[in-house]
Amino acid sequence: MLTFLSNKEIYEKVICGLVPQTRERLWIATADIKDMYVAKPGGDQMIPFLQLLDGLLERGVAIRLIHAKEPGENFRKDFDRFPRLWHQMERILCPHVHFKCIIADGRKAYFGSANLTGAGLGVKSDNRRNFENGVLTDEPSLVEPLAEQFDSVWRGACCVKCGRKKFCADGPLEQ
């Protein structure tokens, strides 16, 4: 399966579909990260995306997040409301990351232009959303190299040559 997505389709198929259905592990990479509200699974109530991630952690899903810059104040306030995120969600800051992807269980992935923000992936009104696009796939020939790129950054494979290690707040995990 290979599906082109644009604008609100990304929200519907990735944030409301792919993410809540994750069973084992969820990897997210984004350049920009902001507080984002989404529909609660199975309902119309709006909740912070971080609450959705907290629920996944509660179910035993392992989550890794790579982002390129410090999130804003609203994100940090919501983050602090969910202590499980501090203790169980792994995260690193890498100022060179500009790719955007969400990989669920190593088998299905979204990759495209949208950052982890309300205007990019969230449920903003049509006149407040960014013009985004991306691909949702379960094709191993696409998912596997995407996962390898994510894992390479996560392991710190590029850190020795990057020259910006002093700007990385949370990691990487290995040197």
- Tell me the per-residue pLDDT of 113-125, one tens digit each, with 9 for 90 and over: 999 998 898 777 7
CATH code (residue 81): 3.30.870.10
Please give the C-alpha separations between residue 96 and each of 35, 67, 153, 159, in angstroms, as whole numbers: 21, 9, 9, 10
The pair of three-digit structure tokens given for residue 155, joined into one six-digit string: 């392991």
CB 131 within 8 A of CB 7: yes
> And the tokens for 66?
């790579």
Strand partners, 111: 101, 135
Confidence at 42, pLDDT banded by 50, 70, 90? confident
Determine, yes or no, domain membership for 64: yes
- pTM (global) more than 0.85: yes
Give the range of the structural domain holding residue 105, as residue numbers without chain letter.
2-167
Q: 175 lies in a domain? A: no
Q: For the chain, how many structural domains are there in total?
A: 1
Of 155, 15, 27, nearest to 89 by C-alpha is: 27
